[in-house]
Chains A and B, each alone.
Chain A
């Protein structure tokens, strides 16, 4: 197998031909956030969270690392200021479309997002297409698919009826980043966290002294502000 050498964040790395930038970065311990990617499924490149900068500074362009294959001598930056700003903006858009998803909240919080400026939509789906690919590629079923386009795009079974080919395997729900660890908001009886009771809007804000038990260490509510925010990832908050 031919080896390809490239440079990720100043670190010279060697990977096998055909490896994507995301795989290469993860293999070397560089964590790139993703929402529409799963190792067992084909790459889709739609959430745009995994964007990285390639090329020399000043002449760089952004590509999705989950689809871009490593090239010899490529210069890659995964956490530059530009990238962090882009990711933060993308997460803010995602939070505004699905404010109840724990996964998205965690990612947003890790990128220093402390307030949401866009009007929340309360959609249940971010159209990452993981379930569609899961159904087609792993379950060989294609019971669900995308219909419509633009804002009317949604995922559904054929003709919105109970599908004949669906085996109720639950793979789609298993893989879904929005409903697997979904935050249902404050509920004093049933939930441990409840930090969002005191927040406005919802629990994307930061709170100081509440214990959070949600795996995997979300930390949305417990870490003090400023502690974990990469300086570059912070959104401009002139508005306040």
Chain B
């Protein structure tokens, strides 16, 4: 057993504080290092960290226990195997892989092998929904895992992946490109174009394009930037939300690898527009394998004068970008929760108002935008608002990236204009016999065959990009169970409707599976879903009952009156 001395730990923490800074926002990065070093975060380390930051141990424990990638109880194995349990992977025989992992290692999920080599865990969406089942071994990603591959992967892990047969990086399938993906802009081009203009002109350009946030909520980007720009505070922040946790979404992963320069351009343009000097990219821990490449790109930009002091010779314009890792929490994709997490707190949504544009990171005005929004903003500045707004509908302009997974012939990333009907979309991806489509991931809604004429867009079916296709054979109750498990797992538990409501929905699904749910009770639960939508504190809590409501509403006959064990 590794003996850990208090003094030594304190010394280590001091060194880390030198590296990450001594304010509370350094807490998560330090916890990450400690987790990696000791393979878990023992109470002693927590105590020392609390001492070093002059906060109470109860607070540090609260933070650590909030995130699923931190472990406080027992030491994890050298390799932590995390198998994705989210719907897209679940539909492609994830269970077989899970059983094979258990067979090969002789342990159950949640346990560690006796030699301390492997820990098995389930995790939520890894962003490889089109190539499932996906698995993460420490930070290494495996796509399309079959039970047959499991043995090979474990052997290679025992050899520390020296000369591995598996690819280090798994590219995304891009099935249809459009104006955004075929943009053909050079790194820094957008920024150069922007710096020739006045910040107010940039806001006017974005406003003319009618760009709305690409994360799903669709808040007008120009308005957000304008609010932040008007604020008299001298310290402002730009945050890129790369916490792509919504099941079925993987387009940000692609954008970060292929269009990262343009995203950075977008962040710098935003900083110039609102007058920010510091930016953060909040990257989800599942994408840890991207971090080094992204950091290298940021360093390159610093060297070529696109970041740092006097950017492109512009007097008085200083801006730098840092990457902060999440720690395994879906709720942190919500902007106020994300800011909480950046501040080193539990990633729980705050009460709004005040909104982040007014009181954000450490109380300063902060704009939080999706990766895709920053990319779009760059391209709008380069090519003009008309280029962007010629596509789409009246209220939803432009093209949007959709991550399409599930039972279709060609899953992958599609760039389509808003206003595309589901029918057309399904024809495009080769799934015309689909039974239903989930628009917007677990937080979205399930659309049945009768409504395939509905269109994608903020006025009808709003989505951050996740579209999951269910084939004719899909058991919709299983789908509902998967989503409800996801929400029970990921709810922060702060407000009553989301915390208790999701558990009740899951109970109801168990009752349905066992065929002992009355239709009156089902109706009550649908009403409960409605109440959650109205009364929950944050957008994600409000969406918690959506999938269940829509599935139970559209497939009542299918889910009621089951005889257990008959299928």
Contacts and interface: CB of A to CB of B under 8 A. Distances in A.
Interface of A: 43, 45-49, 51, 62, 64, 67-69, 82, 85-86, 89-90, 93-94, 96-97, 117-119, 126-127, 142-153, 156-159, 163, 165, 236, 238-239
A52 B459 CA distance: 26
Contacts of B494: 46, 127, 153
Nearest to A71: B353
Given A94-B500, A158-B60, A238-B520, 19 more contacts: A45-B537, A47-B495, A48-B535, A67-B351, A69-B353, A82-B534, A89-B497, A89-B535, A117-B524, A142-B55, A146-B62, A149-B346, A150-B499, A151-B503, A157-B58, A158-B46, A158-B47, A236-B527, A238-B523
Given A43-B351, A90-B496, A93-B497, A142 B59 contact: yes
A146 B346 contact: yes
A126 B493 contact: no
A93 B496 contact: yes
Contacts of A147: 61-62, 65-66
Interface of B: 43, 46-47, 50, 55-62, 65-66, 329, 346, 351, 353, 488-497, 499-504, 507, 518, 520-521, 523-524, 527-528, 531, 534-537
A149 B534 contact: no
Given A46-B496, A145-B62, A117 B521 contact: yes
Main secondary structure of the interface of B (DSSP, over half): helix
16 contacts: A43-B351, A47-B496, A51-B535, A68-B351, A86-B535, A90-B496, A93-B496, A93-B501, A145-B62, A147-B65, A149-B493, A150-B489, A151-B499, A158-B60, A163-B58, A238-B523
Identify the 9 closest CB pairs spanning chains A and B, nearest first. A153-B493, A145-B58, A158-B57, A142-B56, A67-B351, A158-B58, A147-B65, A150-B491, A89-B531
Contacts of B351: 43, 45, 64, 67-68
A45 B495 contact: yes
Contacts of A238: 520, 523
A150 B535 contact: no
A145 B59 CA distance: 6
B495 A46 contact: yes
Nearest to A153: B493
A149 B496 contact: no
Contacts of A149: 65-66, 329, 346, 490-493
Nearest to B542: A62
B500 A86 contact: no
* Best-surrounded residue of A89, A119, A126, A152 (most CB of chain B within 10 A): A89
A126 B496 contact: yes
Given A94-B500, A150-B488, A159-B57, A89 B537 contact: no
Nearest to B534: A62
A92 to B, nearest CB: 9
B531 A148 contact: no
A62 B59 CA distance: 31
Contacts of A151: 488, 491, 493, 499, 502-503
Nearest to A237: B520
A93 B500 contact: yes
A159 B64 CA distance: 11
